[in-house]
Amino acid sequence: MPSSLSKNTPARHRFSRSALSRCMMGALLVIIAAGCSNNAADATSNTSVVGGAETNVSQVSSAKKVSAATVAADSDPAVVEALQANLKASGIEETIVSAVPTEMDGMYWVTAEGLPSFFTDKSGKHIIQGQIIAVGDGAPVDISASLVANTAKEALSAVDKKEMIIYPAKGETKSVIYAFTDADCGYCRKLHEEMADINARGIEVRYLAWPRSQESVPKMEAIWCSQDRRAAMDQAKMGANIQAPSCANPVQEHMALGARLGVRGTPAVFTEAGQQIGGYLPAAELAQAAGAN
């Protein structure tokens, strides 16, 4: 096992969420995708825009797109402080990382530790979930789309490759995807069955651990603690009961990262650019969604 893996010291276990995180997870409105849910709804797909219109992220001008570096620079400390104080007054201990102004006056995009990102007002008195759609200037535009993607892009690129189980592309690497996976999820197994086809299409798959229940945690940790992780993953996807000596592993960190990115079901697939492209997709559709065609 690589020595670079840090020991698991998560601030908050995913299966004992705070009142706020439970509320937020329960309130997310999503369209059911091809995936295995660990709660009442599956969040492995992107919600659609008002009236079924397609979200047109490309129409957001470059001036309105916020890079990860700008996110930190543009964070309003007064809003962060106000939101933190209001949460504390309600008996909620959460760490707010940033509050970035959006193109909607008085609306801020909030990043917090261990929570999906959300909107708040300037007073930090309200937590707002879901999409905000800009209309009146061409096709409807989800103003949070680029913010969500940038958050995911930076968080996923920061994960050490040694902490993931990677299935490299065959030949030229045309695209990279990250997939939060669970060994016991039927749709995760279906995706894994197509791994050879996916890799042959020039797609590198980087697995992160997302056990959907407390009972699945030991199996996922055993996979990551195996001497040959890919072989262990292959066997687990076929139903084998994987056993391995306990070790320092990144499973809890992956779970915390998934919670921060709003993952609620598996497989949860992200592109290298941070866009969540859904749950299970057949290899040909996955290649199209990941830009590997």
Indicate if 188 belongs to the active site: yes
- Compute the distance between CA of residue 188 and CA of residue 165 in angstroms, rounded to an integer: 14
267 preceded by a cis bond (ω within 30 of 0): yes
275, two tokens:
């866009």
Active-site choice (14, 212, 229, 260): 212
Active-site choice (12, 14, 184, 185): 185
β-strand partners of 207: 165, 179
203-209 β-sheet, strand order: 165-167, 203-209, 175-181, 268-271, 276-278
Contact 144, 102 (CB under 8 A): yes
- Compute the distance between CA of residue 228 and CA of residue 122 in angstroms, rounded to an integer: 50
Active-site choice (14, 42, 188, 260): 188
Active-site choice (42, 142, 182, 184): 182
Indicate if 185 belongs to the active site: yes
Q: Which DSSP symbol is given to 131?
A: -
Cα→Cα distances 155→68, 146, 257, 274, Å = 10, 14, 8, 9
* Phi (first) and psi of residue 272, to 5 degrees: -65, -25
- Compute the distance between CA of residue 96 and CA of residue 62 in angstroms, rounded to an integer: 26
- β-pairing, 265-266 vs 203-209, is unpaired
Contact 234, 195 (CB under 8 A): no
195, two tokens:
């791994």
Cα→Cα distances 234→48, 120, 175, 204, 279, Å = 34, 43, 22, 16, 19
Indicate if 225 belongs to the active site: no
Catalytic residue IDs: 182, 185, 188, 212
